[in-house]
Structures are given as structure tokens and as C-alpha cells.
Amino acid sequence: MKQYNFDDIIERKGSDCFKWDALPSMYGRDDLLPMWVADMDFRSPDFVMDAIRHRCEHEVLGYTMPSEGYWQAVESWLERRYGINTTNGELHFIPGIVAGIAYALLCFTNPGDKVLVTTPVYPPFLNLPKESGRMLVCSQLKIENGRFAIDFDDFEQKVDGCKMFIMSNPHNPAGTVWGADVLRHIADICKRHNVIVISDEIHADLTLSPHKHVSYSTVSDDARSNSITFMAPSKTFNIAGLGSSVCYIADEALRKRFFGWLDALGVAGGNIFAFTAAEAAFANGEEWLRQMLDYLKENVLALQAFLNDRLPKVKAVLPEASYLAWLDFSDYGIPHKELADKLINEARVALNDGTTFGGSDYECCFRINLGCPKSMLLDALNRIAGVFQTTK
């Protein structure tokens, strides 16, 4: 069995990498350790790179289409891991999940319609409805036993009158895994209120043991009949730059409406390398993923131990899935602007600002990316501790 090395430091500066090369424009300096953008600093898998190299040997890069091998790999992955028994007639390629959510908003809602999200949440969930003229409605999550939880009293009150609920499953920014009971409760409420559920499951493959991801559409007939599920190999295998995602809809009427709309837009063509990489990843990726998840879990434990030992005032929501954690600095009693300045200009670490996940309620919070060599994570944490251990 091949042993993969996730400790290698790979130089990404100068590769037009957003995570590293956008630091000056986003943070005003280029000497920061970037722990923000949600891709990993691990090498993309060898079997994916080999498939791309092999495809390049055919020196014509014309219009392409998904092969039978691509669809078989996707269908097998969904069945093995999530119990989704499907055919490619129930699946549709999309060039990225954010784009897919935007398409769904345009297809199923009208300007002025209400769209529900639970905050804090991945910023495009907030921006897409607002920028497309929809009315954003937010139900704030609770912290229970160190993890996010849905306030169902507030959720049911807020969902009334909405046309769509955009759900992060597992939840971003902190990788909370919604269990089957929670998802069934959501399905029951949304069905009664005639609300379409968008389930963004891009982090599903990154669920950490002993937790288990449950795909929303599988929990009940109500969930199957009113949902659109998005998945992708992009986070899982660190190939986000290829724009390869897939949409699954169980309900025929919903499927015909949305897939017809997507086909009218002409977005199914994809690109040669999106299909090639996804097929190779889903067909060959189980062992690489197992080892990578073991490494990620060690990084989560390293973060937990470091905070307990050296930054006990920082409250964390640790991921049950994904490589993203949520850090709350509110016990320091420092205003948001000063907190951000300390992290950027004193610690020289770039984290995602919590205000972008839901506004002023999260001005003492920051999201940190653990998808990196452990030495890089510890470097970032030591930099932060060097500033905040002296702060009373």
C-alpha cells in the first residue's frame, strides 16, 4: 500500500494561487501565513495528476463531454459512500457549486422572494440571494456542547414565507455534521412550508471518524421530494481549480425543471480536465482519502491541544467534517478592528473574518483552515499565541 506524504511544504506563491497570491490585495501585505481560502496545501493526488498528463498526450483539446467512465465513477462513489442509488439521468454536471446555487436561485425564485440561511455560514450563501435581488432571511445557529446546533423554534418562524433554504451540509464554517434526525426535522418543516432545500454537500467526503455524513435527500420522502443536492470532488481531492461538480435531484418534476434550465444555459459542457480529474479521483481515491482524513484528524487534535495549553481563552468549534475550524476570541474583550489588526499585522496570519459569515454577531470570530502540513498549522498557532498570550 502506498503511503502518501502530507508533510511536504509545497511552494504555491507565484502560481496565481488565490490563497497565497491574493494576500496583498485582500490583506494589504504579502508576508502573511494564509490560513483562509478553503483549499488545501497538500499535493493533489498522483492518480489525478497522472490522468491529466495522460489526457494531455492526446494533443487536441476540443469540445468534450462526460464519458461513461465519468458517470460510472460518480454513481459508484455516491452509492458506496452515501447510499444514493442513481443514474446519470438524475445527475447533472455543473462548473462549481456556487454557480449551481446561483442557477437554482434564478430558476426557482423571483426578485423579492425570501431565501433562508442559517448563520454563521459560507459567505456566498449570504451574497448570492442579496446580489440577485432576493430577500435574505437569517436564522442564527446556537452553540451547544461546543458545536453548532439549529434553533428550530427560530428556524420554523423564519422559514415561513420563504421560497428556498440554502443549507451547508456539513456546515461551513466549522464542519458541523447534521445527523439524520436533524435533517428529517428540516425536511418536515420545509415540506410543510413548501420550501425547496438546496443541500451543499461539498464537504461530505471530508467527514472525520467517528462521525458519519448523511445526505439530505436520503432521510425521508419529504427530503427526496423537495431538494437539490450539490457534491464535488474539489475539496476532497484538492482540485477546486478545475470547476468540477455534480447536481443530484431525486424528484422528477424538480429535476426536469432545473436540468432543462441548465441545458438552456449550456453549462453542462464542462472541460476536459474537469471530467478527467473527477473520474480518476472517484475511481481511485479511497485510500488517498483515508490517509488524508487521518492526517486532518491529527491536525484537529493538534489545534485542540494547542488552544487548551496556550490559548485557553479562545473558544473553538472544531470540525466534525472538513478542514475548517471556528475560533472565538470574544473573551479577550478586544474590539473587532483591533482583533483583526493583531492577527494580520502582529501575528502575520490571514484568517477568514467572522463578520463575512453573518455580520456583526461574529466580529470576534475567525475561521482557520487546517488543510495544510502540521508544521504550517503550528507555525500559525505559535504566531497567534505570541501575540495573544501577552494580552489580558
Mean pLDDT of 362-385: 98
**147 strand-pairing partners:** 144
Q: How confident is the model at residue 88 (pLDDT cuts 50, 70, 90)?
A: confident
Q: What confidence category does residue 267 fall into, taking pLDDT thresholds of 50, 70 and 90?
A: confident
Please list, residue by residue across 185-220, b when 16 or more beta carbons sit within 10 angstroms of its beta carbon and e when fewer do.
bbbebbbebebbbbbbbbbbbbbbeeeebbbbbbbb
% of the chain beyond a pLDDT of 70: 99
Kindly tell me if the per-residue pLDDT of 232 is higher than 90. yes
Do the beta carbons of residue 270 and residue 263 sit within 8 Å?
no
Mean pLDDT over each residue of the chain, to the nearest integer: 96
CB 24 within 8 A of CB 31: no
Alpha carbon distance 313, 293 (integer Å): 28
Q: What is the pLDDT of residue 99?
A: 95
Find the mean pLDDT for residues 53-61. 95
Distance CA 173, CA 317 (A): 9
| Statement: residue 186 has pLDDT above 80 | yes
Tell me which H or E stretch contains 340.
helix 336-341
pLDDT classification of 392: cutoffs 50, 70, 90: low
Does residue 390 have a pLDDT over 80?
no
Amino acid identity at 305: A
Question: 280 vs 266, which has greater pLDDT?
Answer: 280
Residue 210 CA: distances (Å) to CA of 90, 149, 294, 300, 325: 30, 18, 11, 13, 17
Q: What string of DSSP letters covers 343-377?
A: IIIIS-EE-EEGGGGTSGGGTTEEEEE--S-HHHH
Q: Are 357 and 123 in contact (CB under 8 A)?
A: yes
Q: Within the chain, how many helices (H) and strands (E) appear?
A: 14, 15
Domains within the chain, CATH numbers bracketed: 18-45+287-388 (3.90.1150.10), 62-283 (3.40.640.10)
- The 3-state DSSP class for residue 208 equals coil
pLDDT of 338 above 80: yes
Beta strand spans in 95-226 (E): 114-119, 135-140, 142-144, 147-149, 162-168, 196-200
pLDDT tens per residue across span 303-322: 999 999 999 999 999 999 99
Band of pLDDT at residue 391, cut at 50, 70 and 90:
low
d(CA 131, CA 240): 24
Q: Compute the distance between CA of residue 356 and CA of residue 285 in angstroms, rounded to an integer.
A: 33
